[in-house]
Amino acid sequence: MGATVTAKYEMPPFDLRLAMDTLSAKDPRLAPLIKETQEFRIERGDAESPYEVLVEAITHQSISGKAAATIFGRVKALGSNGSIPTPREMLKLRKPALRKAGLSGAKILAMKDLAQKAIDGVVPTLEEAYKLSDEELVKRLVSVRGIGAWTVEMFLIFRLGRPDVLPIHDLGVRKGWAITYGKKYMPNPKELLAFGERWRPYRTVASWYMWRACQRAGHAALRKIRPHKIKPRKLAQPRRKGRRKSSRLKA
């Protein structure tokens, strides 16, 4: 979800100092990371509402940041006054115009579905999003074609500043965990979810420092981390052929 303009940063809507102090006290491995690396912060860009963020997210899927920024600029140019097309404008845009901007057929379908769901109220406004729980926002936004939980989690973290979001499928968080806790393998999502219970109610901040751990470790160290270890299944014992003898004595 990279921004195409100079980003503006602000403090989160929760007590960041309390969050950092709490995590440092709970988890000694996090304490040096928190002390030595960059503090958590919220990034503000042109795309702020759930609808606008998802337009940008769809544009960025499966392509490099530079190419996505170029395409996103073309999509924005299709809106009035050079801004992101409103949901109604998006529905009126013809497929050839969106294809010319650089969107694939699948992304066009996703954009149209997003626009319709925004008009129907499934995708909330920014004001409405602030009032909804994390779970409700995830439920609503993942109903949009092509949008997964990770994209919604990034919105919760970097636009709304929610304090207790743990993106368990994020490779950076999983690799950062392996670096921080001296493991050769990444945890699988289920393992990370269980481990992250100790970080409540500030799992967002802990995740942030997992990303910082990756930055500090460098590419060489990250390349050594392997996918999560799969435990071998126990083979079932073959059943013996033949009828079981009755334990009852015959009269």
Task: Give catalytic residues, as residue numbers.
Answer: 170
Q: How far apart are CA 192 and CA 170, in angstroms?
A: 10
Provide CB contacts within 8 A for 234, sequence distance 6+. none
Residue 105 CB: number of other CB atoms within 10 A?
10
Q: How far apart are CA 115 and CA 121, in angstroms?
A: 10
Kindly give the residue spans of alpha helices, DSSP state H, lying in the chain.
16-26, 30-36, 50-60, 65-77, 87-92, 95-101, 105-120, 126-131, 134-141, 149-158, 171-180, 189-195, 203-217, 219-223
